[in-house]
Chain A
């Protein structure tokens, strides 16, 4: 069955960096694009980034452009999100999700806390 297992969250200081991972199984990873979505505490859902199945196209929300980098390793069936120049506004739960959204496969979420 399709599984997306996330790791890499934690506490980081403002200005710091973190890399999130999303490990996939149960399907042909290299055939699908992926998204990252986040939710700040008490706030709504925010779409963050997308990467095409072959990694050739990437799209970002304006709020993270230039600070976050989405990538993938198809040989490891793993999706990544590199978070740099973090601020307190980046605190929240991050989810990976397989494209298209209507296929409805999500990771369990991982918490990123930006705090000094």
Chain B
């Protein structure tokens, strides 16, 4: 199975900060990667698909980059509602695998 190594596992930042989260795949997954935001009690929310495509309705402060094995989610200017947990997901082949998550906390 493809392993997704996500880092950091947690991150403290302030409103207005620029933050980046990375995922590294154990093998080439082309651009078959999604980024999700998760908040307690809610289904995961899709932010980015195809590694860099912004999901409709998602603020433009979110962006994704990368292909092959290295991927990055960037939030350009943190807003209060962005403090949540973020996951990458590879859907290149089965079994699909999520990263272990990054908890973004208020500094």
Is residue A26 within 8 Å, beta carbon to beta carbon, of the partner chain?
no
Measured CB to CB, the closest approach of chain B to A68, in angstroms, equals: 12
A46 and B38 CA atoms in complex are apart in Å by 13
A61 and B100 CA atoms in complex are apart in Å by 15
> Count of chain A residues with Cβ under 8 Å from any Cβ of B?
21
- Of B94, B97, B100, the residue contacting A50 (CB under 8 A) is B94
Interface hit among A14-22, A74-82, A84-92, A94-102: A94-102
Interface hit among B12-20, B44-52, B72-80: B44-52
In the complex, chain B residues whose CB is within 8 Å of the CB of A44: 85, 87, 98-101
Is residue B91 within 8 Å, beta carbon to beta carbon, of the partner chain?
yes
Q: Which residue of B lies closest to A100 (CB)?
A: B91
Q: Which residue of A lies closest to B100 (CB)?
A: A44
A106 and B87 CA atoms in complex are apart in Å by 16
Number of residue pairs spanning A and B whose beta carbons lie under 8 angstroms apart:
53
In the complex, chain A residues whose CB is within 8 Å of the CB of B59: none
Is A62 a contact partner of B44 (Cβ separation < 8 A)? Answer: no
In the complex, chain B residues whose CB is within 8 Å of the CB of A95: 43-44
A44-B100, A46-B98, A60-B95 known; A104-B46 Cβ under 8 A: yes
Interface string of B45-66 (1 = CB under 8 A from A): 1100110010100000000000
A59-B94, A100-B91, A104-B55 known; A45-B44 Cβ under 8 A: yes
Is B43 a contact partner of A108 (Cβ separation < 8 A)? Answer: yes
In the complex, chain A residues whose CB is within 8 Å of the CB of B99: 44
Is A35 a contact partner of B101 (Cβ separation < 8 A)? Answer: no
Measured CB to CB, the closest approach of chain B to A21, in angstroms, equals: 17
Please list the residues of chain B having a beta carbon within 8 angstroms of any beta carbon in chain A.
1, 34, 36, 38, 43-46, 49-50, 53, 55, 85, 87, 89, 91, 94-101
**Which 3 A-B pairs give the minimum distances between C-beta atoms?**
A102-B49, A59-B94, A106-B43
8 contacts between A and B (CB under 8 A): A45-B87, A47-B97, A62-B1, A102-B34, A102-B46, A102-B50, A104-B46, A109-B43
